[in-house]
């Protein structure tokens, strides 16, 4: 699994939230939910309940139950259906009832978008530490698209709750059924729910997660804070490639089956004048194309950034005439394995193309 250097972050305070949100938005590749509202929620929770302790899995009791947590649904709907503040407590109660043991820590299922930020709020509210890891190192749109599934860990019960206080426990028979059954509840709940999946003891999780996710997200925010050249700083930090700089000339976006789907077209400006790049969306940015040529694709990360500030733009926030830079960079090595590509590669999303690493496609 990931061998990223872990920056020593002992806790998350109000001062860290905006840096965390910046990095999570970038890693969200357009999905995972907009971080704007999450920033306010997390700061409010920390002010009321206190800072959140950040721990490594090795420092959690081996048999202690860790609860991965994330929002599931269409990001466009989450703008209108705000959480009521009690969902995580209900989720914890249901997890402890089903597993018959206490939750000792939570973890973000995906570090991308608000799904990387809001777990800090839930941790603060619940008085629990948060693990410095996640299962994706980015955001992916479907439940089975995580490291536990790719590593072949046995499926565990999935528990979902909604803002009305409804809950459901699913015992999936496959990764596909984990996705379809969870998505069905989410649609019935109005399009948004809170979910805990792959709930396991800490010892089971060690070696099967993307480590240092929270620390790395915060470091991204710190790296660009105050800089006058955010795009250059991010390119150097991530080993990223700028696909095109220009203006959004067309957006096609709709909500279907619990996802935001569509595409966005960018017309180049400056040195990219005369070029036109389109990016396909399923919550996250999936494939970038130019005149039929694939510039970048999942599982590598593709993010749309504000050209002036370097701030990542969520798919639900893209607007006509925005000045943007589409940037792509390498995914965690886990996602380039054969089993992982079957789960999160272009063909997993219906494309009749093979995955080509961004380092090769941009030579």
**Percent helix, strand and coil across the chain, each rounded to 5?**
35, 30, 35
For residue 80, what are the CA distances in angstroms to 37, 74, 192?
11, 11, 10
Q: Which residues pair with 68 in a beta bridge?
A: 107
Residue 2 pLDDT: 45
Residue 3 pLDDT: 45
Q: How far apart are CA 173 and CA 4, in angstroms?
A: 33
* Both tokens assigned to 208: 């099967």
Residue 77 pLDDT: 66
Encode the chain (363 residues) as per-residue pLDDT tens digits.
544 454 568 999 999 999 999 999 999 999 888 898 899 999 999 999 999 999 999 999 999 999 999 999 877 666 566 677 789 999 999 999 999 999 999 999 999 999 999 999 999 999 999 999 999 999 998 999 999 999 999 999 999 999 999 999 999 999 999 999 999 999 999 989 999 999 999 999 999 999 999 999 999 999 999 899 999 999 999 999 999 999 999 999 887 777 778 999 999 999 999 999 999 998 899 999 999 999 999 999 999 999 999 999 998 899 999 999 999 999 999 999 999 999 999 999 999 999 999 999 887
Q: Which secondary-structure segment (H or E) carries 79?
A: none
Domains by residue range for the chain, with CATH: 11-216 (3.40.1610.10), 228-361 (2.40.390.10)
Q: Tell me the CB-side half-sphere exposure of residue 78, using CA atoms within 13 A.
A: 32
Residue 360 makes CB contacts below 8 A (sequence gap 6+) with none
| Spatial CA neighbour of 191 closest among 183, 203, 180, 202 | 183
* Both tokens assigned to 101: 């043991």
Residue 154 pLDDT: 94
Q: How far apart are CA 331 and CA 336, in angstroms?
A: 8
Q: Which secondary-structure segment (H or E) carries 13?
A: none
How many residues comprise the chain?
A: 363
DSSP of 248-300, one letter per residue? EEEEEEEEETTEEEEEEEEEE-GGGTT-EEEEEEESEEEEEEETTEEEEETTS
Q: Tell me the CB-side half-sphere exposure of residue 68, using CA atoms within 13 A.
A: 27
Q: How far apart are CA 170 and CA 159, in angstroms?
A: 6
Q: Which residues pair with 155 in a beta bridge?
A: none
What is the three-class DSSP state of 343? helix
| Spatial CA neighbour of 344 closest among 208, 209, 150, 205 | 150
Instruction: Tell how strand 323-329 and strand 241-256 pair up.
Output: antiparallel
pTM of the model: 0.94
């Amino acid at each position: 699994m990931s061998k990223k250097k872990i920056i020593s972050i002992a806790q998350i305070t109000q001062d860290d939230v905006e840096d965390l949100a910046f990095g999570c938005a970038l890693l969200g590749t357009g999905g995972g939910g907009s971080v704007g509202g999450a920033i306010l929620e997390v700061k409010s929770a920390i002010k009321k309940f206190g800072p959140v302790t950040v721990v490594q899995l090795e420092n959690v009791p081996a048999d202690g139950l860790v609860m991965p947590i994330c929002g599931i649904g269409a990001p466009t709907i989450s703008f209108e259906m705000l959480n009521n503040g009690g969902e995580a407590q209900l989720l914890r109660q249901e997890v402890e009832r089903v597993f018959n043991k206490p939750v000792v820590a939570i973890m973000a299922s995906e570090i991308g978008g608000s799904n990387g930020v809001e777990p800090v709020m839930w941790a603060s509210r619940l008085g629990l530490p948060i693990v410095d890891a996640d299962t994706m190192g980015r955001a992916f749109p479907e439940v089975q698209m995580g490291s536990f599934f790719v590593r072949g860990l046995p499926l565990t019960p999935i528990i979902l709750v909604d803002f009305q206080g409804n809950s459901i426990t699913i015992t999936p028979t496959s990764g596909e059924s984990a996705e379809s059954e969870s998505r069905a509840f989410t649609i019935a709940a109005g399009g948004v729910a809170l979910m805990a999946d792959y709930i396991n003891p800490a010892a089971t999780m060690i070696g099967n997660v993307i480590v240092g996710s929270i620390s790395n997200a915060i470091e991204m925010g710190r790296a660009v804070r105050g800089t006058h050249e955010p795009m250059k700083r991010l390119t150097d930090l991530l080993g990223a490639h700028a696909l095109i700089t220009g203006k959004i000339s067309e957006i096609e976006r709709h909500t279907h089956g619990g996802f935001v789907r569509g595409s966005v077209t960018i017309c180049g400006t400056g040195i990219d004048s005369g070029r036109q790049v389109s990016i396909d969306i399923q919550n996250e940015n999936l494939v970038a194309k130019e005149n039929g040529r694939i510039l970048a694709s999942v599982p590598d990360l593709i993010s749309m950034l504000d050209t002036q500030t370097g701030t990542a733009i969520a798919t639900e926030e893209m607007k006509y005439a925005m000045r943007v830079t589409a940037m792509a960079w390498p995914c965690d090595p886990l996602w380039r394995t054969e089993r992982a590509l079957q789960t999160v590669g272009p063909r997993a999303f219906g494309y009749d193309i093979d995955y080509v690493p961004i380092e090769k496609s941009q030579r």
